[in-house]
Chain A
């Protein structure tokens, strides 16, 4: 029997082997997905009103025209979010930003944006997750805990599965290494190959690893045992197909990416190493690629008469901090919740339009709230996986809610 598999858009892994049982447009059972995926698939549906203005239910036309008038009257509106939106929606959002001369940004400006940019510009060697499954023998998880953030990374792609060139499995043919400031769940699986470093100790550890790889004595100010670093260097040198999964733990710890570039260069002189960023949202990578294709930048842009200006001052954090934006359209995100309070509170002073499939802190404090269909569950489209592979998906269940794509088109028309 031909099986009907769905794509889970719960995280950046976009698992494409999910089976779902549904009845009367309600998801009853989800097979193979992790708990993150199951929660995402079963998220539908909620009783709130579809369109709210000033927290009062209104009809679609009123909400759209109110949203359009906020954007029209703004001198410098901000469009933010889109990490879980489909690529199709993101392209329309870019068009919209162009039309209204908006500042456009997503979470990558304070997450893994610099790494995504380096990958898109081919500055780092990368590979797909399928390559990892089939070929990888040395896998490093650095500053990331996929067991919690991307639960199926180890079982579906990296450490546990038998690949075409790795038939003897994790017991004999793969080595998993964790480098982190704490003993995470992933580090626990790595056993003796867990290297615990102090916070902000990553740059020094990279230098020590480079020294170890070059046959010198590795030294760190926190006296990490040189013997252990040399042991690590020896494993890395022997890698036939190595992969480094990099998370925010490493990126936040480095002043810039130079030490990482240098490490990858040295590793590739001695062995064969690839890098994959641990992108958390389902389509952050898609946003970076789509915006790069349009403007040459991956995030933090400000459109002005058709041209795009780029700089840290156009990121969501800096533009809200400087109060340079006077309205905000938030798509599938909750900045009021996750931005620092001192910065997020500036959002309360400007009119906000929030598009989300559930009530959030941001939606509660929005002038206009539009309840959208859940991407990947109620709305189809395509997304870019964290290894830059395009994944297309169909809706799992039907809904009366409009997709983000349709709503953005309607707002465009109303403008």
Chain B
């Protein structure tokens, strides 16, 4: 992924405020945080001279379109359902210590962030994920325990 400064270089840099932000730099930061999309910048989207940059930025964000609110992406073709991430996920352990936390089938599925369905891990109840919301913690429990890098955060 890129950084806010690189994104800023591709923006019109006119500080027109049409996006609702006070400056193009602020817009770039919001893009990075997935609060806004490239479409939220009207000049970038509509003016032909920015067409190339608009396409470039859109391309950058394409892989993260399938991402959840926490930025989590599961590469289903890689995941083989070992369940390491499900058992290692701290909110999962806290919400279901005698089920998932002990390696067994979930006994409290409504509170789990990750669960294995048809051999592939599925993200759910994202409000429980440590990466959710304003006070998020950059927890990496599910990433470091995956042997095939099937989980990614953007």
Contact = CB atoms under 8 A, between A and B. Distances in A.
A17 B83 contact: no
Interface string B70-96: 000000000111111011100001000
Contacts of A188: 147
Interface string A138-173: 000000000110011011110011110000011000
Contacts of B101: 161-162
A133 B119 contact: no
Interface stretch (B16-24, B51-59, B110-118): B110-118
Nearest to B83: A155
- Which interface class (under 10, 10 to 19, 20 to 34, 35 or more) fits B? 20 to 34
B110 to A, nearest CB: 13
Given A34-B83, A160-B87, A189-B84, A3 B147 contact: no
A39 B81 CA distance: 12
Contacts of A156: 83, 87, 103-104
B105 A17 contact: yes
Contacts of A154: 82, 84
B29 interface: no
Contacts of A38: 81, 118-119
Contacts of B117: 29-31
Contacts of B106: 32
A37 interface: yes
Given A155-B87, A157-B103, A189 B147 contact: yes
Given A39-B119, A169-B93, A185-B147, A18 B105 contact: yes
Contacts of A35: 79-81, 119-120
B interface secondary structure, majority: loop
A162 B97 contact: yes
Most buried by A among B84, B107, B117, B119: B119
Contact of B119 (A3, A19, A37): A37
Contacts of B104: 17, 156, 161
B116 A189 contact: no
Contacts of A39: 119
A5 interface: yes
Interface residues of A, number: 35
Contacts of B119: 30, 33-39
A36 B93 CA distance: 25
A192 to B, nearest CB: 13
A371 interface: no
A148 B78 CA distance: 12
Interface in A209-265: none
Contact of A189 (B83, B102, B145): B145
B148 interface: yes
B82 A30 contact: no
Nearest to A34: B81
A129 to B, nearest CB: 10
Contacts of A30: 117-119
Contacts of B80: 34-36, 148, 151
Most buried by A among B97, B103, B105, B120: B103
A156 B104 CA distance: 6
Contacts of A151: 80-83
Interface in A1-19: 3, 5, 17-19
Nearest to A133: B103
B87 to A, nearest CB: 4
Given A147-B82, A160-B103, A169-B93, A31 B116 contact: yes
B130 to A, nearest CB: 14
A189 B101 CA distance: 18
Interface string B111-149: 000011111100000000000000000000000010110
Nearest to B107: A3
A186 interface: yes
A161 B107 CA distance: 15
A154 B118 CA distance: 19
Nearest to B97: A162
Given A38-B119, A160-B87, A162-B97, A33 B81 contact: yes
A160 B105 contact: no
A185 B148 contact: yes
Nearest to A37: B119
Given A30-B118, A33-B119, A133-B102, 16 more contacts: A17-B105, A29-B118, A32-B83, A32-B105, A32-B115, A33-B81, A33-B116, A35-B79, A151-B82, A155-B83, A155-B86, A155-B87, A155-B88, A161-B103, A162-B93, A170-B88
Interface of A: 3, 5, 17-19, 29-39, 133, 147-148, 151-152, 154-157, 160-163, 169-170, 185-186, 188-189
17 contacts: A18-B105, A32-B106, A33-B81, A34-B80, A34-B82, A36-B80, A38-B119, A133-B103, A147-B82, A148-B80, A155-B86, A156-B104, A157-B103, A160-B145, A161-B101, A163-B102, A186-B147
Shortest Cβ-Cβ A-B pairs, 5 listed: A161-B103, A35-B119, A17-B105, A185-B147, A38-B119
